[in-house]
């Protein structure tokens, strides 16, 4: 039996940093001793973790700090290059998931630093980011997500002020608002964490709230709490669910021959689905509504294709929650040969069967029979094979 996905939602009205992120999860119940134990698997020097409650504009949050000593102006290693830090992560005793996600965060950060300073990624030399506290923030974030069983991360619009050059590059594609605070609110580390893990910037997904916590920034901000809010919950769904972006536009003046090419380009660029609906527009003009479903990360690229390939003047975009049956591909034996069938389950019971089109078409041509006969036979075989099975499908 599958379990509800666990979601982390980040509310960022005062920006984000690595220490705020970990502080908010500690406030949600992350065991700091367990975090320290896992971090010791990466040999990066002598340091201690500290977490304490502090007030920020009348609201309490957890301030997370890494306490260590610098020696002769250096920290745990002189090799603060991207290559050196990746080597230190991969040679550690951390889990494979933590290693890969940590490297992903540092890769996003290195790419931004590369663009900001005009040097190759492999030659990027981290300065403050190479110190123990920043490495702990990034690797600790990846440990925390694994320890708390987080499946998906979403976030609000990010508030920024005076971003560093690398932060500005990391923010590309994100929704932001600008504050008049006299110091940066989103650090490069915080922006890299958000870019790596946040699936979209949307409202709080439907969930059963399990925990909530606040991570405190280092300074007070006049007129607002300098806090990052984390909300952890479980999806309120039977079956699978995710967040998608829906793109729509009305078209009444395009050669219909272009649609085939347009649809091919959209699917090649990552569209989940593309469909066209007939419509009647103002002045009784016949038209169509072009609709594209996509994961949030590909929505901008798909929007660009629409503008390049169609005469439209605008594209509507909105976020939608998509609920899906639990699904499994099974291969069944029929008198026409082996056919793959997509089986959908609701509450662990078979709800839908859909034989794969290409398999049915190939079998129909090979055996010289009607497509519909092959499809009926495959669906019946799948239902016979699956009947009585109540669990274990993902």
Instruction: List pLDDT tens digits, range 213-232.
Output: 999 999 999 888 999 999 99
| pLDDT band at residue 394 using 50, 70 and 90 as cut-offs | very low
Question: Tens of pLDDT along 103-133?
Answer: 999 999 999 989 988 888 877 876 545 478 8
Give the helix/strand (H/E) hosting 168: helix 165-170
Output the CA torsion 195→100→273→1 (10° steps): -120
- 216 is a domain residue: yes
Of 302-306, 321-325, 333-337, 340-344, the one with minimum mean pLDDT is: 321-325
- Tell whether 217 and 361 lie within a shared domain: no
In a domain, 391, yes or no: no
The DSSP call for residue 389 is -
Same domain, 147 and 260: no
The answer to whether residues 358 and 299 belong to one domain is no
137 & 269 share domain: no
Q: Where are the beta strands (DSSP E) in the chain?
A: 6-11, 47-56, 59-68, 152-155, 158-160, 176-178, 198-201, 207-216, 227-235, 240-251, 273-280, 286-294, 316-324, 326-334, 337-346, 349-355
Question: Of the candidates 235, 254, 285, which is a domain's last residue?
Answer: 235
| Cα distance between residue 326 and residue 342, in whole Å | 10
Give the list of residues 6+ apart from residue 119 with CB closer than 8 angstroms, or none: 113
Same domain assignment for residues 102 and 177? yes
| Band of residue 202 on the pLDDT scale cut at 50, 70, 90 | confident
**Domain assignment of residue 278, yes or no:** yes
Same domain membership, residue 253 and residue 169: no
- In angstroms, the Cα distances linking 312 to 184, 257, 259, 290, 315 are 39, 16, 13, 10, 8
| Residue 392 belongs to a domain | no
- 18 Cβ partners below 8 Å, 6+ apart? 134, 136, 137, 138, 140, 141, 187, 189, 190, 193
Residues 286 and 368 in one domain: no
Q: If you count DSSP H runs as helices and E runs as strands, how many of each does the chain have, helices first?
A: 11, 16
Query: For position 390, what pLDDT does the model report?
Result: 44
Are 349 and 271 contained in the same domain?
Answer: no
The mean per-residue pLDDT over the stretch 355-362 comes to 94
168 lies in some domain: yes
Token digits of residue 141 = 């974030």
295 and 230 in a common domain? no
Based on the structure, what is the number of domains in the chain?
Answer: 3
From the CB of residue 256, how many other CB atoms can be counted at a distance below 10 Å? Answer: 9
Which comes out higher in pLDDT, residue 81 or 241? 81
| Same domain for 73 and 25 | yes
Whether residue 191 sits in one domain with residue 64: yes
Nearby residues of 198 by Cβ (< 8 Å), 6 or more positions away: 10, 153, 154, 155
The residue to which tokens 């890969």 are assigned: 100
Give the end of a domain, one of 235, 256, 287. 235
304 and 222 assigned to the same domain: no
Question: How high does pLDDT run on average in the chain?
Answer: 89
3-state secondary structure of 130: helix
Please give the residue range of the domain that contains residue 316. Answer: 240-324
Q: Residue 380: CB partners within 8 Å, gap ≥ 6?
A: none
User: Rounded distance, CA 33 to CA 144, Å?
Assistant: 12
Q: Which of 216, 235, 254 is the last residue of a domain?
A: 235
Rounded Cα distance, 92 and 87, in Å: 9
Mean pLDDT over 289-301 rounds to 91
Task: Provide the token pair at 259.
Answer: 């649609």
**Tokens standing for 36?**
């320290």
> Is 1 part of any domain?
no
- pLDDT value of residue 74: 45
Q: Is the pTM of this model over 0.85?
A: no
Residue-wise pLDDT tens digits, 251-270: 999 999 999 999 999 999 99
Q: Is the pLDDT of residue 244 over 80?
A: yes
Measuring CA to CA, which residue among 273, 146, 198, 167 is closest to residue 12? 198
Residue 237 has a pLDDT of 61
pLDDT of residue 200: 81
CATH number of 255's domain: 3.30.70.1380
Minimum mean pLDDT among 326-330, 343-347, 384-388: which range?
384-388
């Amino acid at each position: 039996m599958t379990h509800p996905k666990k979601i982390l939602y980040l509310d960022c009205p005062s920006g984000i940093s690595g220490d705020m992120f970990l502080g908010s999860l500690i406030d949600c119940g992350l065991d700091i001793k367990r975090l320290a134990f896992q971090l010791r698997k990466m040999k990066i020097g002598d340091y201690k973790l500290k977490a304490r409650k502090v007030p920020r504009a009348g609201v309490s949050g957890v301030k997370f700090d890494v306490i260590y000593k610098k020696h002769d102006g250096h920290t745990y290693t002189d090799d603060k290059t991207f290559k050196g830090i990746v080597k230190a992560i991969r040679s550690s005793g951390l889990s494979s998931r933590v290693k890969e996600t940590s490297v992903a965060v540092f890769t996003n950060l290195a790419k931004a630093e590369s663009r900001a300073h005009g040097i190759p990624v492999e030659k990027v030399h981290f300065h403050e980011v190479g110190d123990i506290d920043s490495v702990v923030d990034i690797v600790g974030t990846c440990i925390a997500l694994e320890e708390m069983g987080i499946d998906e991360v979403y976030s609000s619009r990010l508030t920024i002020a005076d971003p560093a050059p690398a932060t500005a590059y990391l923010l590309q594609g994100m929704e932001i608002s600008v504050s008049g605070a006299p110091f940066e609110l989103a650090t490069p580390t915080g922006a890299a964490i958000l870019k790596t893990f946040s699936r979209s910037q949307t409202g709080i997904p439907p969930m059963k709230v399990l925990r909530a916590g606040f991570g405190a920034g280092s300074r007070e901000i006049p007129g607002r709490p300098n806090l990052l809010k984390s909300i952890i919950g479980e999806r309120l769904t039977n079956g699978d669910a995710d967040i998608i972006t829906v793109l729509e536009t009305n078209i009444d003046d395009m050669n219909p021959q272009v649609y085939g090419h347009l649809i091919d380009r959209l699917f090649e660029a990552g569209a989940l689905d593309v469909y066209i609906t007939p419509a009647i527009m103002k002045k009784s003009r016949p038209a169509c509504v072009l609709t594209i479903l996509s994961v949030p990360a590909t929505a901008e690229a798909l929007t660009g294709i629409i503008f390049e390939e169609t005469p439209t003047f605008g594209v509507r975009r909105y976020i939608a929650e998509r609920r899906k049956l639990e699904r499994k591909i099974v291969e069944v034996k029929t008198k026409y040969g082996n056919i793959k069938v997509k089986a959908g389950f609701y509450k662990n019971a078979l709800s839908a069967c859909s034989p794969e089109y290409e398999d049915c078409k190939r079998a129909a041509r090979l055996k010289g029979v009607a497509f519909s006969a092959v499809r009926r036979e495959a669906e019946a075989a799948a239902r016979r094979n699956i009947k009585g099975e109540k669990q274990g499908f993902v």
